[in-house]
């Protein structure tokens, strides 16, 4: 029997916490908020204190990808929806390159308090650029399974998944496709992710919320990632690269990252590319240790 998905975007948090053995802290209240900017950006605010952590997700995902990791950290945080993703507005120019994404947040409320900045995949590259643009705002940087030295090939699994249909007959069809690509630690986890990442169209079909799935050219890599080496070299804070052992990066990518970015170290976790969805508690443990 399929467990129904409620309409409230926060109604699934207790289920998710229980699935991962987390006692969800009552004080870690979460709410949806708008970020004051011309770009109509949205974010999830966890806790009532100034955020200790700021999270930027990867291409085709949204702020809810961090839910379990944040609940395990049990600390105030802000998780943003990148432009063109989640509840944030789509860009008219469809420019979702890392530097453009970073500029969208550089003078917003998320840079008004010092925090640890965490970014996954495309969000990791944007996080490097954001830490350079707003050096006063972040005391440490965590980059997850991405490097400016990575070149995505045509057989990249994320690129192939994003190049799918623009509309589906049901959310179940999207879940089936995601599972067939090997995404998610369980089918139920994929169901939750698809709920957060899709909307119902006027004709009863379902589409992804993010702009990438609706573009004619849906590779979503934008300009060469190598442009991010320049801001990376200017960073003056500790940087942690977290690799998935079945992720996108090779030992050569890791070595280049360590050699070219000051104060950088690296660890590997037993998972694929979407570290925060496959091993969210191990990720929280690594972030907590790095932040201490």
> What does each of the 292 residues of the chain score in pLDDT, given as a tens digit?
446 666 689 989 999 999 999 988 888 999 999 998 877 899 999 999 999 999 999 999 999 999 999 999 999 999 999 999 999 999 999 999 999 999 999 999 999 999 999 999 999 999 999 999 999 999 999 999 999 999 876 557 777 887 788 899 999 999 999 999 888 888 999 999 999 999 999 999 999 999 999 987 544 444 569 999 999 999 999 999 999 999 999 999 999 999 999 999 999 999 999 999 999 999 999 999 999 8
The pLDDT, as a whole number, for residue 6 is 61
The pLDDT, as a whole number, for residue 220 is 44
98-105 and 122-133 helices, crossing angle to 10°: 50
- Set 76, 97, 115, 121: catalytic member: 121
Is residue 170 part of the annotated active site? The answer reads: no
Q: Which residue ranges make up each domain of the chain?
A: 13-149+222-291
Looking at the chain, the number of H-run helices and the number of E-run strands are 11, 10
Identify the burial level of 17 via C-beta atoms within 10 angstroms of its C-beta, where 0-12 means exposed, 13-18 middle and 19 or more buried.
Answer: middle
The pLDDT, as a whole number, for residue 223 is 52
Is residue 121 part of the annotated active site? The answer reads: yes
What is the four-CA torsion angle of 51, 52, 58, 59, rounded to 10 degrees? Answer: 20
Helix (H) or strand (E) holding 16: helix 13-19
Please provide the distance, in angstroms rounded to a whole number, between the alpha carbons at the two ends of the chain.
44
The pLDDT, as a whole number, for residue 19 is 93
The pLDDT, as a whole number, for residue 5 is 64
The pLDDT, as a whole number, for residue 153 is 66
Q: Do the Cβ atoms of 2 and 54 come closer than 8 Å?
A: no
The pLDDT, as a whole number, for residue 155 is 54
Is residue 93 part of the annotated active site? The answer reads: no
The pLDDT, as a whole number, for residue 3 is 60
pTM of the predicted model over 0.85? yes
The pLDDT, as a whole number, for residue 218 is 45
The pLDDT, as a whole number, for residue 131 is 98
Calculate the CA 18 to chain-centre distance: 22
- Set 57, 85, 253, 273: catalytic member: 273
CA 87, CA 80: separation in Å to the nearest integer? 9
Q: Do the Cβ atoms of 96 and 210 come closer than 8 Å?
A: no
CA 169, CA 163: separation in Å to the nearest integer? 17
CATH superfamily of 13-149+222-291: Alpha/Beta hydrolase fold, catalytic domain (3.40.50.1820)
The pLDDT, as a whole number, for residue 165 is 86
- Set 67, 81, 132, 145: catalytic member: 145
Name, in order, each residue with C-beta under 8 angstroms of 262's C-beta and a sequence gap of 6 or more.
233, 235, 236, 239
CA 228, CA 70: separation in Å to the nearest integer? 27
- The neighbour count for residue 72, using CB atoms within 10 Å, is 22
- The neighbour count for residue 223, using CB atoms within 10 Å, is 12
């Amino acid at each position: 029997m399929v467990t129904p998905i409620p309409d409230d975007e926060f109604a699934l948090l207790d289920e998710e916490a229980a699935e991962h053995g987390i006692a969800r802290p009552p004080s870690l209240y979460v709410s949806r908020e708008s970020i004051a900017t011309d770009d109509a950006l949205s974010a999830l605010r966890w806790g009532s204190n100034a955020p200790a952590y700021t999270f930027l997700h990867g291409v085709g995902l949204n702020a809810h990808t961090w839910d379990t990791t944040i609940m395990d950290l049990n600390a105030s945080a802000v998780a943003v929806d990148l432009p063109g993703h989640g509840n944030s507005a789509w860009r008219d120019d469809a420019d979702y390159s890392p530097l453009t994404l970073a500029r969208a947040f550089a003078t917003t409320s998320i840079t008004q308090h010092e925090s640890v900045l965490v970014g996954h995949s495309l969000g990791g590259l944007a996080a490097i650029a954001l830490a350079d643009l707003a050096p006063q705002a972040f005391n440490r940087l965590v980059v997850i399974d991405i490097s400016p030295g990575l070149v995505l090939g045509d057989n990249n699994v994320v690129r192939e998944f994003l190049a799918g249909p623009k509309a589906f007959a049901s959310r179940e069809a999207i879940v089936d496709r995601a599972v067939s690509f090997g995404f998610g630690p369980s089918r139920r986890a994929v169901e939750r992710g698809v709920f957060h990442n899709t909307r119902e169209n006027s004709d009863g079909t379902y589409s992804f919320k993010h702009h990438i799935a609706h573009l004619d050219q849906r590779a979503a890599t934008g300009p060469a990632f190598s442009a991010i080496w320049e801001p990376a070299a200017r960073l003056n804070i500790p940087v942690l690269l977290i690799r998935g052992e079945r992720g996108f990066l090779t030992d050569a990518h890791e070595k280049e990252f360590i050699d070219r970015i000051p104060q950088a170290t690296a660890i590997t976790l037993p998972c694929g590319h979407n570290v925060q969805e496959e091993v969210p508690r191990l990720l929280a443990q690594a972030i907590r240790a790095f932040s201490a």
